[in-house]
Structure 1
Amino acid sequence: MTQKAVIVRTGPEGHDGLEELNIELERGWTVAEVCAMGGADTSAAAPTHAALVILERRDPDRATPAAAVAALEEIGDESEEVVEQVIEEAEEVVEDNGADPFEN
């Protein structure tokens, strides 16, 4: 299991770390634990809140939508190469119009 930590902070000026957290969740990471953090005070008049978010991935090789698309594209490229090779080899084998299989 692989883990990583992300700090998310929110306050009167907006959010910090929330976009990074969402990107990691889209990539297949899951939230293992969330802990409130002290010391998030800033010079802003309104309160600022922060949280430590622990993300984990139990199986880093687990297929994600992006990995599935990449695999399909690779298979597509390989199949195109095979088709081209078959066509080239077929052209090399056929020497006449194929009307009479016993004529050369």
Structure 2
Amino acid sequence: MMQKALIVRTGPEGHEGLKQLNRQLETGWRVATVSPMGGAGESGGGPCHAALVVLEPRGRDEGTAVAVEALERAEPEAQSVVEEVMRDLGGLIDGNGAESPNEPLR
């Protein structure tokens, strides 16, 4: 069975890895095991705690899980392409697109 491992840390300054964990849970993964990790150390004014969280697909076959993981990996790249195109078009888009740019406005 396919699995993923995430490290989640918490301390006085907040959380690290919690957003990633929540996103995986929202997209159909479930927690298989949670193991506390020693040596997380202290940060600023207090101790830090860390855990190794192992996830596995929830109610899907292996092939579906592989496909979802591939889409999850491709999403950030697609988002950066969209952002780049929008940045490049920034000043070029004007009006509602119904009128020709050479026709005077009514």
TM-score, scaled relative to structure 2 = 0.54
Q: Tell me which amino acid in the other structure corresponds to 1:59.
A: D
Q: Quote the Cα distance in structure 2 between the aligned partners of 1:56 and 1:14.
A: 26
Q: Is the 8 A contact 2:36 2:50 kept in 1?
A: yes
- 1:59 is matched with which residue: 58, 61, 64? 61
Distance (whole Å) between structure 1 residues aligned to residue 42 and residue 19 of structure 2: 21
Match of 1:83 in 2: none
* Residue aligning to 2:17: 17
1:37 corresponds to? 37
Name the % identity: 62
The gaps in structure 2 that reach 5 residues or longer are: 69-106
Query: What's the offset of the Cα at 1:47?
Result: 1.0
Taking only aligned residues, the RMSD between alpha carbons, in angstroms, comes to 2.1
Count of paired positions: 64
* Larger-gyration structure (1/2): 1
Gap runs ≥5 in structure 1: 65-104
What's the TM-score, normalizing by structure 1? 0.55
Aligned to 1:26: 26
1:5-48 Cα shifts (integer Å, max 9, x gaps)? 00000000000000000000011001000000011103422111
Distance 1:30 1:51 in 2: 15
State the SS of the aligned residue for 1:2.
Answer: coil
